[in-house]
Structure 1
Amino acid sequence: MSDTSKAAGKTLPAGSIGSVPIWRGIGPRLSLLVVTGCSALVLLTAVLLGEHSATRAVAAHEQLIGNDLVASVDRILNSVRLRRRAELAALVGQPCGDVRRSLTQLQTYVRYVRGLNLVVDGRVYCSSGLGQIDVPLSVYLKSTATGASLNLLPQTPFHPGDPVLAMFDATGQGTGILYLLAGDYIADALSHGVRYGAQNVALSIAGVGLLSDSDEFMPVSKPSPFYATRVTSGAWPFSITLASSTEFVSQLRWQYRLYFGAAGALLDMLIVALYLLAFAPSRLLLNAVRRGLRQHEFHVVYQPIVDIASRDTVGVEALLRWDHPKRGPISPSFFMGEVESSSLLAPVTGFVLHTAVEEMSRHAPTLPLRVAVNIAPGDLERKGFVAEVLAMSRTLPGGISLVLELTERFLLNESADTLAVFKALKAGGVKFAIDDFGTHHSNLDLLSRFPFDYVKIDRQFVSHVDTGGAELIKAIVAVAKHFGLQIIAEGVETEAQHRALRAVGVSLCQGYLYQRPMRAENFERRQKRR
């Protein structure tokens, strides 16, 4: 049958076949007004949905960044607290002169800290950097509780102007280890958010202030930059606040406007298409197809399938064409949808099968050749299809085999009877190809349930194989090889695509690079010239 996605030609204008009252009860002007109103409403809805989705996408992106940054700071704090904790706890309460050297050595094992300090009875009495000191613990912390406490300071008495995170790990009442974490380490962790589209990122502690990604302390009394999202740690008393950059938000909004605007435009095109189809009722179209079959307006063209290494022709795909006597070439995409759901499916499929078999028997070169014909789901269900195909296959000369192509979406809901049809035709030497693989549901279960011989990669993937899309095709090739299938890449138009496909393991190709679809006699002459 026809390949509707590859067919070229102009569609049949509305109302060009026959003349009957259109949309009885609704005048053409009123119907046009309704279609115009629906189209405007669709576009407005698309714009509003785009704006809403962009806002949600920005919030989700900020939440994701915030979660990552909270996890990073949590890891830093947990690492500081747990590193050499038992050894540090053993030093608490001992004279500073006796343990300072050990304290200083232990600091080298604890990352991110500016200083380690020992605390007894609420006073800091020994520092890894300064030795013996006497400073109230309240200078560093508002309150101490059992376990670990955390505070943010703009500076310490001994390091003015340098923000720090003060963490106190209590080993007793008012006794324990005081860690001073350098603010610039935390700021470095926060700056990762800026790399991923955030403009303002800060660590905040309630009632104290903020530490920004530029290592700047801002107390709660000072106005701070705008922060749209807050993510709170579940392990420590701090939050990460952030807001996306204007550039990132603008770019994301334009992307969503483009996506939803395109979707709205496509939907508008669909509305217009339905409107136009109302002026060409399906029965008139089917009558025209039936008349075209009788008057020999249809013919079949063939697009070669080549071996990618040698570029030798190893097969052809048969494509249905309609040359209307008044309207010229009509794309199969215009009429095949109606044909597939009508009683004309059998004669149209039969025409393509008989024509392809007869013409290839007369005009094919003397070499092994596969003749591929597209079929519809209704073909698999109609009585006599298996016998018809097997009869056609048996008339082919030796070395020529028949391949039936099915799009994967046609098989997902098929019953066990479909599998029986596959098995019967396979037993008679007919081969099967799954067309447009990856463009619909990409159900890998199809490849294991149905005995396919070929997997055809759609042109939308092939068109990007030389510009960053090779990995996807490489993955499809790997899946196909796992099931023992051959890959056919369609829509190859450039040498760069040819080389890229060969590099990822594709064995067969078709497309304008090798040859446009042609009549059988032209195909024979072309093969003789090679």
Structure 2
Amino acid sequence: MANFRKTSTEQGSAKTSGAFWQFMPKATLSVAVLSGILVMVAAVSRSEHLANRAIRKNERLIGDDLVASVDHVIYSASAKRRANVEALVGLPCNAVEQRLAELETHLLYIRDLSLVENGHVYCSSALGRIDVPLSVYLNPKSGAQPIGLLGQTPFQPDVPVLSLFNPTRSSSGVLYVIEGEYLEDVLVHGVRYGAQRAAFAIEGNGLLDDHGRFVAEVTPRGGYSTKVTSHAWPFAILVASSPSLVARKRWTHELAFGVVGLSVDGLLAALYLLGFAPRRLLVSAVRQGLKRGDFHVVYQPIVAVVDRRIVGVEALLRWHHAKWGPISPAVFMDEAESSNILPEVTRFVLQTALSEMKAFAPASPLRTAVNIAPRDLERRGFVEEVIAAVRDLPPYVELVLELTERFRLSDGVRTSAAFAALKAEGVKFAIDDFGTDHSNLDLLKRFPFDYIKIDRHFIAQIDMEGPDLIVGIVALARHFGLQVIAEGVETESQHDRLVSVGVPYAQGYLYQRPLVAQLLAASLNASTATTN
């Protein structure tokens, strides 16, 4: 449900957000002011050490995730059909080279699959019969370890690779050559978690960084602050945090631990009032607003980037209070998502959106995206509600459920069953605001998502920092068979960049601001007429 707040930057939101706080009792506001002063005084406490620990912990989490991903790459490249390949070792190249080339096509991430006899590589899936010492692929400085990182091979200069040797007997076996680009893609994913830099390193060999650059001689840590070693293979991941993450962690700890240092009875009472009493009032106001009909749904079109044809819409919740007027979703959605009112809010958006789509029944296929929270998938009755609504839709309307990353998606039986039941009914799933909180490769592996929505923060930076990050996300999506949707596109320059890197779908003010259902129908008709 993160996208219910997408227009927090629209005109008037600051004014209405301030007005809304008049719902809060004067006593609570006074306590909030007092608590703010106390926090500022307490910020002088020793937070530097604790902030550094938090930064290193975050780097280690990033490193652990990248190590697991590289372990998976190496295992996937070498484990499949291993027995079939090893059976060819020692046989003449002219007798097995066709079979070797065929087996190579079944292996993930592999550039070349070769046979080794008596310390010499004698048969290649790509080149046929060759004669190259095995030591060319395994750096002698690294001892007897079975993998090596190379800046190039004799046959492709300046193209880094990871070599892996599986012996079948002394000095004989199978050599796997893995594309360095796959390691680079994994490292780029780590940078999106808050690392400024990430690198793959093998002691005595060198390192490969997140830009695909190979460095043969590396000083200890080489400017990287955290090193995480694989338990399965002799390599390590090096991580250095970005300045923005470091600043954010330190600022957070200055505030948080300053408050803890002043944990006296009076302050605890103030924190209780500040944290809970306004929350109950806010949740109650939302519930009353739903009953009074203060809420409505608007739709932001999603377009095909190539021709700007409308292919879908995203349903966004809006609140127009009888007294205070329009209220930004930024004011109430955090509390709504974490309270027991969540089912009512989700049900209202889902039923309203699908009912309005059914009312004007678009003539061409249209994806209708509705935001939900991970908690929705775990509650009783949710799957049945969605299935009943989907079965009543017109043929051309497809439902997409967008899950926000701000709350971690549980890997429980109920969640997996919900995915399976809804997918069986044709419902699609998208990860919303990808890259902002809990997204990782494991999430994409565990759940059958159909779309990745790139957070608007990354799109806003594409002109200044270039499209490399977006290219990495597109490559990641293609690897998992997912489609990419870019959010928050506001300029022609951003649009052109998305076209150049192959992002298929996008949404944003450049194409269309959110519309009520009646105006959306007219916009869809105009889009269909333009593309026909």
TM-score, scaled to structure 1: 0.55
Indicate how the Cα distance of structure 1 residues 321 and 39 shifts in structure 2: closer, same or farther if over 3 A, else same. same
Deviation at 1:464, TM superposition (A): 1.7
User: What residue in structure 1 maps to residue 411 of structure 2?
Assistant: 414
Rounded Cα–Cα distance in structure 1 between residues aligned with 2:18 and 2:482 = 39
Aligned-residue offset at 1:51 = 13
Aligned partner of 2:38 in structure 1 is 37
Letter in 2 for 1:37: L
Cα 1:43/1:447, change in 2 over 3 Å: same
Alignment of 1:504-519 (within 5 A): 504-519=501-516
Question: Is 2:3 the counterpart of 1:7?
Answer: no
Pairing 1:388-427 to 2, within 5 Å after superposition: 388-427=385-424
Q: Give CA-to-partner distance per residue, 1:412-442, whole Å, 9 cap, x none.
A: 4431321111011000111000111122243
Give the direction of change, closer, same or farther, for the CA distance of 1:43–1:386 in structure 2 (3 Å limit): same
**CA contact under 8 A between 2:2 and 2:406: conserved in structure 1?**
no
Is the Cα contact below 8 Å between 2:297 and 2:316 reproduced in 1?
yes
Distance in 2 (CA, whole Å) between partners of 1:506 and 1:266 is 40
Say if 1:43 and 1:264, in contact at 8 Å, map to a contact too: no
Can you list the C-alpha shifts for 1:65-84, whole angstroms capped at 9, x where unaligned? Answer: xxxxxxxxxxxxxxxxxxxx
Over the matched positions of the two proteins, sequence identity in percent amounts to 52
Report the equivalent of 1:263: 251
1:18/1:331 Cα in 2 relative to 1: closer, same or farther (>3 Å)?
Answer: same
- Cα offset, 1:453, TM superposition: 0.6
Instruction: Report how far residue 353 of structure 1 moved.
Output: 0.5
String of CA shifts for 1:174-231, please: whole Å, max 9, x gaps.
xxxxxxxxxxxxxxxxxxxxxxxxxxxxxxxxxxxxxxxxxxxxxxxxxxxxxxxxxx
Paired with 1:516 and 1:17, the residues of 2 have a C-alpha distance of 30
CA distance in 1, matches of 2:487, 2:329: 18
Q: Deviation of residue 333 (structure 1)? A: 2.5
Mapping 1:25-424, distance limit 5 Å: 28=30, 32-42=33-43, 259=247, 263=251, 277=274, 281-363=278-360, 365-424=362-421
Relative to 1, partners in 2 of residues 1:441 and 1:281: Cα closer, same or farther, differing over 3 Å? closer
Q: CA-to-partner distance for each residue in 1:30-51, whole Å, 9 max, x for gaps?
A: x6344213124437878x7899
Question: Following the alignment from structure 2 to structure 1, what is the Cα–Cα distance between the partners of residues 382 and 327?
Answer: 27
Work out whether residues 435 and 456 of structure 1, in 8 Å CA contact, stay in contact via their aligned partners in 2. yes
* C-alpha contact (below 8 Å) 1:306/1:314 kept by paired residues: yes
Which of these residues, 486, 490, 501, is aligned with residue 489 of structure 1?
486
1:329 to partner: Cα distance: 1.4
> Partners in 2 of 1:359 and 1:403 — Cα distance?
15
Give 1:16 shift: 2.6
SS at match of 1:511: coil
Where does residue 459 of structure 2 map in the other structure?
A: 462
Moved over 4 A (4+): 12-15, 18-21, 43-46, 48-53, 255-258, 264-268, 273-280
Please state how far the C-alpha of 1:466 moved relative to its aligned partner. 2.6
What is the distance in 2 between the residues matched to 1:256 and 1:19? Answer: 36
User: If you compute each CA radius of gyration, which structure gives the higher value, 1 or 2?
Assistant: 1
Q: Is the 8 A contact 1:363 1:523 kept in 2?
A: no
Structure 1 gap segments, 5+ residues each: 54-232, 235-254
How many matched pairs? 325
Q: 1:413 to 1:385 in 2, by over 3 A?
A: closer
> Would the aligned equivalents of 2:305 and 2:499 in 1 still touch at CA under 8 Å?
yes
| Letter matched to residue 7 of structure 1 | T
Contact residue 459 and residue 486 of structure 2 kept, 8 A: yes
**Is contact 1:300-1:321 (8 Å) kept?**
yes
Partner of 2:199: none
1:434 and 2:431 aligned: yes
Which amino acid counterpart does residue 479 of structure 2 have in structure 1? H
Matched position secondary structure for 2:23: coil
Tell me which residue corresponds to 1:17: 23
Within 2, Cα distance between the matches of 1:285 and 1:523? Answer: 31
Is 1:477 aligned to 2:474, yes or no?
Answer: yes
Q: Which amino acid aligns with 1:349?
A: T
313-322 vs 339-348, which deviates more? 339-348
Cα distance per residue 1:13-66 (max 9 Å; x no partner)? 46533758649xxxx37x6344213124437878x789999xxxxxxxxxxxxx
Equivalent-residue separation in structure 1 for 2:253 and 2:293 (angstroms): 38
Please give the secondary structure, in 2, of the residue aligned with 1:343.
Answer: coil
Take 2:341 and 2:289, find their aligned partners in 1: how far apart are those partners?
Answer: 12
| 1:261 shift after superposition | 11
The worse-fitting range, judged by mean Cα deviation, of 449-458 and 402-411 is 402-411
Aligned pair partner of 1:525 in 518, 522, 526: 522
| Secondary structure of residue in 1 paired with 2:333 | helix
After TM superposition, the score normalised by the length of structure 2 is 0.55
Q: Matched residues in 1 for 2:349 and 2:375: separation?
A: 15
Question: AA paired with 2:374?
Answer: P
Distance in 2 (CA, whole Å) between partners of 1:358 and 1:400 is 11
- Alignment gaps of 5+ in structure 2: 54-218, 221-242, 260-269, 528-532
Quickly say closer, same or farther: Cα 1:414–1:42, change in 2 above 3 A: farther
Q: Distance in 2 between matches of 1:521 and 1:509?
A: 22
Return the offset for 1:346: 1.4
Conserved 8 A contact 1:42-1:264:
no
CA distance in 1, matches of 2:456, 2:377: 26
Relative to structure 1, the CA distance from residue 288 to residue 12 in structure 2 (aligned partners, 3 Å threshold; closer, same or farther) is farther
Residue identity opposite 1:398 in structure 2:
P
